[in-house]
Amino acid sequence: MTAQNKQERLLDVKGLTVEIDGRRGPAVVVDGIDLYVGKGETLGVVGESGCGKSLTMLSLMRLLPNKIKVTKGTAEFNGRDLQTMSNRELRKVRGGDIGFVFQDPMTSLNPVMKVGDQLCEPLIYHRKMSKADARKRAVELLRLVGIPGPEERLDAYPHELSGGMRQRVMIAIGLACDPKLLIADEPTTALDVTIQAQIVDLVKDLRNKLGMSVVWITHDLALIAGLADRVVVLYAGTVVEDAPVDDLYANPSHPYTRGLLASIPTLSDAPAARLSSIGGTPPEPGRRPAGCPFAPRCPLAMDICLREVPKLEPISSEGRHRAACFAVNTALKAA
């Protein structure tokens, strides 16, 4: 058996499909996504803005806004389907087993509640802690995420903290109940580069200390190079490539992934080499082409690409590197 099957899966998503009820009828935003996260593994989820990264994660936890619905698929956490479990059970998983760190630290904290109280709330509710114990634990958590003077910060309102501090508070809230899985949705987009690096280091450190699994969503491939064990590349609501991180950098296969990597400036690159970033924009949900969603922007597009949807297929002998592209698969068979 291959390595991927031996590794125990903490989160296993199969065929997840999400639709938006728009004015022009329903539009598929997340189109039958398969992904999994092993125990202790860190998964990077990469893709351009609007490709459905956030909606995928929100739909796992049944947190989608009105008019956006999961229409197909399962999402098993520790062997139990999150999509069909009762609200009561789901509430235990939310915040208890799965911690969530949201994209925007400016709007994801309750503006009229002190950060200490926001930190204590899940502890009191899930862990049945007393107010005093919860506050002690909150101080520990703030210290853990590197906030100086945590005792005083407990009584600060979110607007009294800088963006980086707020992001750390969000991470502390996500970690409050020692989750088995931390889902971080672009936790560093709003921050400047130095703080980004600090937060990445921080999560790496915490993951090693606490042994949890992490899903780190980003549109920045360079950022997760040193953090993720495995990377899933999303395009227009589908998985186009899934590979161990080293494999992905050494041997990117899907034309979209190659385009993404080419648009990362590296020190050794000649200026001309960087310009090969992908032209055009991803298709809007509801206006996706019939065949391969990437076809309109793909330099390798063939006839079949316009008619049929490529499946995610193994392209390396261990089967851990998979891609959804006719060109790649034909090349493999020919070889």
Instruction: State in angstroms the smallest separation of the CB of 245 from ligand ATP.
Output: 20
Residue 124 to residue 133: CA distance in whole angstroms: 9
235 binds, among other proteins, Mg ion, ligand SF4, none (CB under 5 to 8 A by kind): none
Choice between 206 and 278, CB closer to other proteins: 206
314 binds ligand ATP (CB under 6 A): no
Strands 230-235 and 213-218: unpaired
| 97 residue type, one letter | D
Contacts of residue 196, defined as CB under 8 A and 6 or more positions apart, other chains included, come to: 188, 223
Which parts of this chain interact with other proteins (CB under 8 A)? 58, 61, 63, 65-66, 90-96, 100, 102-104, 107-114, 121-122, 125-126, 146, 148, 152-153, 155-157, 159-162, 164-165, 170, 173, 176, 194-195, 198, 201-202, 205
Choice between 238 and 253, CB closer to Mg ion: 238
Choice between 144 and 305, CB closer to ligand SF4: 305
Residue 179 to residue 161: CA distance in whole angstroms: 25
Axis-axis angle for helices 115-126, 131-144 (nearest 10): 120
Residue 193 to residue 118: CA distance in whole angstroms: 27
Instruction: State in angstroms the smallest separation of the CB of 177 from other proteins.
Output: 9
Residue 53 to residue 184: CA distance in whole angstroms: 11
Q: The tokens of 306 are what? A: 């316009």
Residues in 303-322 that interact with ligand SF4 by CB under 6 A: 305, 310
Facing residues of 21 across strands?
26
Facing residues of 16 across strands?
33
**Ranges of H-type helices in the chain:** 3-6, 53-60, 87-93, 115-126, 131-144, 150-153, 163-175, 193-210, 221-224, 245-250, 255-262, 303-307, 326-334
Mapped onto helix, strand or coil, the DSSP state of residue 154 is coil
Instruction: State in angstroms the smallest separation of the CB of 306 from ligand SF4.
Output: 8
Q: Which of 54, 4, 6 is nearest to 29 (CA)?
A: 54
Instruction: State in angstroms the smallest separation of the CB of 299 from ligand SF4.
Output: 8
294 binds ligand SF4 (CB under 6 A): yes
47 CB neighbour count, 10 Å cutoff: 25
Choice between 103 and 120, CB closer to ligand ATP: 103
Applying CB under 5 A, among 17, 54, 74, 108 the residue interacting with Mg ion is 54
Contact between 254 and 233 under an 8 Å Cβ cutoff? The reply is yes
Choice between 160 and 246, CB closer to other proteins: 160
| 254 residue type, one letter | H
Choice between 63 and 331, CB closer to other proteins: 63
Among the candidate windows 18-26, 62-70, 223-231, 302-310, which touches ligand SF4 by CB under 6 A?
A: 302-310
171 binds, among ligand SF4, ligand ATP, other proteins, none (CB under 5 to 8 A by kind): none
Residue whose structure tokens are 């992908």: 278
Residues in 42-61 that interact with ligand ATP by CB under 6 A: 47, 49-55
Residues in 96-115 that interact with ligand ATP by CB under 6 A: 103
Instruction: State in angstroms the smallest separation of the CB of 294 from ligand SF4.
Output: 4
Instruction: State in angstroms the smallest separation of the CB of 32 from Mg ion.
Output: 19
Residues lying near ligand ATP in the complex (CB under 6 A) are found at 20, 29, 47, 49-55, 65, 68, 103, 186, 219, 285
Residues lying near ligand SF4 in the complex (CB under 6 A) are found at 254-255, 292, 294-295, 298, 300-302, 305, 310, 325-327
